[in-house]
C-alpha cells in the first residue's frame, strides 16, 4: 500500500520523465554584445554559442559585427550592434542553424501563404444589419418580417400552444442574430485597430530601449542628468497623456506641450536642457529604426537672459 508521500514521489518521477527530454535542450545561448571595455580602438561585436550536433555541446560561433566598427562614436556603434543582435535572436528563434543549409527554411518562412477567409452565407430574416458606411450599432428593420396585427376576437377556445412556441423561438432566433451581427461588427473594428497599429512600438518599450543604450554610451554624470529628464517626461506622459499608447503618437505637438509646462515651472534654460535630452531620446529611436524622423530637432531653442544679482549694501 502506497502512503501519501510515496504517491507524490511516484507521480513526480512520471511527470518529470515525460516533461524533460534531453533532445529539447536549449540549442543556443542568448546573443550578447561585446563592447571592448568601451574602447573604440578595439573590435566590438555580437557573440553567441550554438549546440554542436556532433559533440552535443554549446560551441562559440563566429562573431558578428558587419560595419559596426566603422562608426566612431559609442552610441552609433552600439545602436548598430543592437540591431544585429535583435536580427540574430529572431533567426535563432525561427530555427536557423549555423551548422545547416538554411535555404529551405528561409524559403518556407518567407513564402506568403494564401489564407483568404471563407465568404459567410447571407442569413435570411435579419432584424438588424450594419452598413459598412454607417456607425456601428445603426439598425435597419426588415419590413418583410413584420406581420399585420389583427384584432383579437374573444372566444372560449384553447390557445394554440404550438403557434406560441414557434413565435417565441422565432423572436429568440432574431434576437440572437442581432447580437451576432453586433459582435461581428465589434470584432471587425478590433481587427481594424490591430491592423492600423501594426508595426508601432509601445511607449514603455521605446523608453526601455533608449535607457539600455544610454547606460552603455553615456558617462555616469551625463547619464544621471539625462535619465532624470527622460523619467520626468515619461511620468508626465503616463499622468497627462493616458490616451497615448504608442511612441509614434507622441509627436512634436505633445513634446511642445510638455516643454511649455517645464518653462512655466522653471526657466528657459531648464526648458532648453529638457528639449536637448528629449531630442537625444528621439535620435536614438531613429537610429534603431523605431521612428523615421526626429521632429524634436525642429523645435526652436529659447533665448536665455542671464540675470545678474544685485550687490547687497546696507544703504
Per-residue pLDDT reduced to its tens digit, 150-193: 554 555 555 555 554 565 555 555 655 666 666 666 566 566 66
Q: Is the pTM of this model over 0.75?
A: no
Per-residue pLDDT reduced to its tens digit, 235-249: 999 999 999 999 999
Highest mean pLDDT out of 35-44, 149-158, 298-307: 35-44
3-state secondary structure of 64: strand
pLDDT (mean) for 110-132: 54
The C-alpha cell of 46 is what? 555580437
Per-residue pLDDT reduced to its tens digit, 79-106: 999 999 999 999 899 888 888 888 888 8
Output the pLDDT for position 198: 73
Q: What is the DSSP string of 123-160?
A: PSS-S----TTS-TT-----GGGPPPP-PPPP--SPP-
User: Using CA atoms, how far apart are residues 27 and 32, in angstroms rounded to an integer?
Assistant: 16
pLDDT over 90 (residue 207): yes
Output the pLDDT for position 243: 94
**DSSP conformational letter for 310:** P
Residue in 265, 251, 249, 267 with CA at minimum distance from that of residue 306: 267
Phi, psi of 63 (to 5 degrees): -65, 150
Output the pLDDT for position 236: 96
Output the pLDDT for position 105: 80
Q: Kindly tell me the sign of the dihedral angle through the C-alpha atoms of 186, 192, 193, 194.
A: positive
Q: Contacts by 96-101 with C-beta closer than 8 Å and gap 24+?
A: 97/27, 97/50, 98/50, 98/61, 98/62, 99/50, 99/52, 99/53
Amino acid at each position: 500500500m502506497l502512503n501519501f508521500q510515496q504517491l507524490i514521489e511516484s507521480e513526480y518521477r512520471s511527470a518529470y520523465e515525460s516533461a524533460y527530454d534531453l533532445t529539447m535542450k536549449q540549442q543556443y545561448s542568448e546573443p550578447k554584445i561585446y563592447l571592448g571595455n568601451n574602447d573604440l580602438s578595439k573590435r566590438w561585436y555580437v557573440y553567441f554559442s550554438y549546440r554542436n550536433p556532433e559533440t552535443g555541446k554549446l560551441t562559440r560561433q563566429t562573431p558578428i559585427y558587419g560595419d559596426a566598427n566603422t562608426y566612431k562614436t559609442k552610441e552609433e556603434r552600439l545602436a548598430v550592434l543592437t540591431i544585429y543582435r535583435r536580427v540574430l535572436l529572431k533567426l535563432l528563434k525561427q530555427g536557423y542553424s549555423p551548422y545547416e543549409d538554411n535555404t529551405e527554411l528561409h524559403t518556407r518562412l518567407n513564402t506568403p501563404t494564401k489564407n483568404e477567409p471563407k465568404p459567410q452565407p447571407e442569413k435570411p430574416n435579419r432584424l438588424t444589419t450594419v452598413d459598412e458606411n454607417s456607425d456601428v450599432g445603426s439598425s435597419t428593420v426588415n419590413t418583410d418580417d413584420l406581420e399585420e396585427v389583427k384584432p383579437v376576437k374573444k372566444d372560449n377556445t384553447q390557445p394554440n400552444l404550438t403557434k406560441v412556441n414557434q413565435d417565441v423561438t422565432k423572436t429568440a432566433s432574431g434576437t440572437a442574430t442581432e447580437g451576432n451581427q453586433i459582435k461581428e461588427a465589434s470584432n471587425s473594428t478590433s481587427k481594424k485597430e490591430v491592423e492600423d497599429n501594426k508595426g508601432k512600438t509601445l511607449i514603455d518599450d521605446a523608453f526601455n530601449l533608449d535607457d539600455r543604450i544610454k547606460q552603455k554610451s553615456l558617462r555616469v554624470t551625463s547619464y544621471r542628468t539625462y535619465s532624470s529628464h527622460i523619467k520626468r517626461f515619461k511620468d508626465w506622459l503616463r499622468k497627462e497623456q493616458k490616451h497615448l499608447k504608442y511612441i509614434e503618437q507622441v509627436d512634436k505637438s505633445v513634446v511642445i506641450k510638455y516643454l511649455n509646462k517645464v518653462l512655466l515651472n522653471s526657466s528657459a534654460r531648464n526648458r532648453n536642457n529638457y528639449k536637448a535630452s528629449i531630442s537625444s531620446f528621439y535620435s536614438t529611436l531613429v537610429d534603431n529604426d523605431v521612428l523615421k524622423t526626429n521632429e524634436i530637432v525642429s523645435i526652436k531653442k529659447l533665448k536665455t537672459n542671464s540675470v545678474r544679482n544685485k550687490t547687497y549694501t546696507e544703504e
